[in-house]
């Protein structure tokens, strides 16, 4: 029985100051913003200016952000890598599929728990699925070296093979892929996210500021869901696969949301209530 890769379908995680700031920068091109905009974004979720500035300092100290000469914060390190992966996931560019699968066979021998965890994370980032312990695979339809660091981790612990598997009458190749990646769960979540975007689109177009916070959460959820897309060849996808529809909806939604957010964050902050 093939095991399933976790596709990040858990309930949306609780927002923290750091996650709001990271999401703001991850959604910006280029990934740099002034402090004033980041402070306003934090205010949208009830975070004080002090907590935002503290989070920015901590993220800079940990290597996630860099403050440039103009005083703007820019992504770096793992977050910058994540934005690159996020862009690839959103565009969903794949190569023509020859029918071959790429196999990663984990080398035998003693490995630390840290090495095993790092390898699992790297292979999942590369959109491989574990068919059984020590054997990971995926259709050979992606740029083989677009993510340098995960490949380096995988190369250090795996041997690579290309194969054209044969399937019995009882299980065809499409069913095999659907079980490996739990495609029905991904499709269900995609449909839910499309409905949420549709509900929020009109209020955002009308610049209803009460839609900004929930709209931010939905946007981050969609981008996380793109990262969980295994980007399979169309020959292996179920009928009515919602990947293209989700991306088309998000393009429209993201443009509308960014326009509404940009107008809001650049307005003067409301005065603090009087303490008299």
Whether 219 is covered by a domain: the verdict is yes
The CATH number of whichever domain residue 111 belongs to comes to: 3.30.70
What pLDDT, on the 0 to 100 scale, is given for residue 276? 44
- Distance, in Å, from the CA atom of 5 to the CA atom of 83, rounded to the nearest integer, reads 22
What pLDDT, on the 0 to 100 scale, is given for residue 10? 42
What pLDDT, on the 0 to 100 scale, is given for residue 180? 94
* Chain segment 148-184, per-residue pLDDT in tens: 889 999 999 999 999 998 877 556 899 999 999 999 9
Between 139 and 108, whose confidence is greater?
Answer: 139
- CB proximity list for 164: less than 8 A, separation 6 or greater: 99, 100, 101
Q: What is the DSSP letter of 168?
A: -
Average pLDDT, the chain: 88
- As a whole-number percent, the residues of the chain with pLDDT over 90 amount to 73
Residues 194, 255: one domain? Answer: yes
User: What is the value of pTM for the model shown?
Assistant: 0.86
Domain range for 231: 179-265
Residues 153, 220: one domain? Answer: no
pLDDT band at 139 (very low <50, low <70, confident <90, very high): very high
Peptide bond into 30 cis (omega under 30): yes
Domain boundary among 163, 190, 213: 163
What is the rounded average pLDDT of the residues 236-248?
A: 96
Residues 132, 184: one domain? Answer: no
Whether 155 is covered by a domain: the verdict is yes
Is the per-residue pLDDT at 241 higher than 50? yes
Quick one: which H or E segment has residue 74? strand 72-75
Residues 194, 228: one domain? Answer: yes
Cα 167 to chain centroid, rounded = 32
Biggest CA-to-CA distance, the chain: 79
Whether 117 is covered by a domain: the verdict is yes
Whether 275 is covered by a domain: the verdict is no
Number of domains the chain is built from: 3
pLDDT band at 270 (very low <50, low <70, confident <90, very high): low
Residues 241, 214: one domain? Answer: yes
What pLDDT, on the 0 to 100 scale, is given for residue 74? 96
> CA-based angle 8:37:258, to the nearest 5?
55
- Distance, in Å, from the CA atom of 146 to the CA atom of 214, rounded to the nearest integer, reads 33
Cα 68 to chain centroid, rounded = 26
- Distance, in Å, from the CA atom of 236 to the CA atom of 22, rounded to the nearest integer, reads 34
Whether 67 is covered by a domain: the verdict is yes
Structural tokens at position 61: 């100290």
43: helix, strand or coil:
helix
> CA-based angle 102:153:132, to the nearest 5?
45
């Amino acid at each position: 029985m093939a095991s399933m890769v976790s596709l990040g379908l858990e309930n949306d995680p609780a927002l923290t100051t750091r996650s709001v700031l990271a999401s703001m920068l991850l959604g910006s091109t280029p990934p740099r913003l002034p402090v004033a905009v980041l402070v306003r974004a934090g205010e949208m979720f009830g975070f004080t200016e002090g907590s935002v500035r503290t989070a920015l300092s901590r993220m800079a100290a940990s290597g996630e952000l860099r403050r440039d000469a103009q005083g703007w914060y820019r992504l770096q390190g793992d977050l910058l890598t994540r934005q690159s992966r996020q862009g690839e996931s959103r565009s969903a560019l794949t190569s023509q599929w020859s029918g071959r699968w790429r196999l990663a066979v984990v080398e035998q021998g003693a490995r630390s728990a840290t090495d095993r965890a790092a390898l699992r994370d790297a292979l999942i980032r590369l959109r491989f699925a574990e068919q059984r312990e020590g054997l990971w695979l995926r259709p050979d339809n992606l740029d083989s070296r677009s993510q340098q660091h995960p490949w380096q981790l995988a190369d250090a612990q795996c041997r690579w093979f290309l194969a054209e598997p044969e399937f019995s009458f009882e299980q065809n190749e499409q069913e095999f892929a659907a079980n490996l990646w739990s495609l029905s769960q991904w499709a269900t979540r995609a449909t839910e996210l499309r409905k949420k975007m549709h509900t929020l689109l009109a209020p955002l177009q009308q610049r209803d500021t009460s839609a900004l916070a929930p709209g931010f959460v939905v946007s981050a959820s969609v981008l996380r869901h793109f990262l969980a897309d295994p980007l399979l060849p169309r020959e292996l996808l179920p009928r009515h696969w919602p990947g293209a529809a989700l991306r088309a909806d998000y393009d429209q939604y993201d443009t509308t949301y960014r326009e509404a957010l940009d107008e809001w964050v650049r307005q003067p902050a409301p005065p603090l209530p009087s303490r008299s």
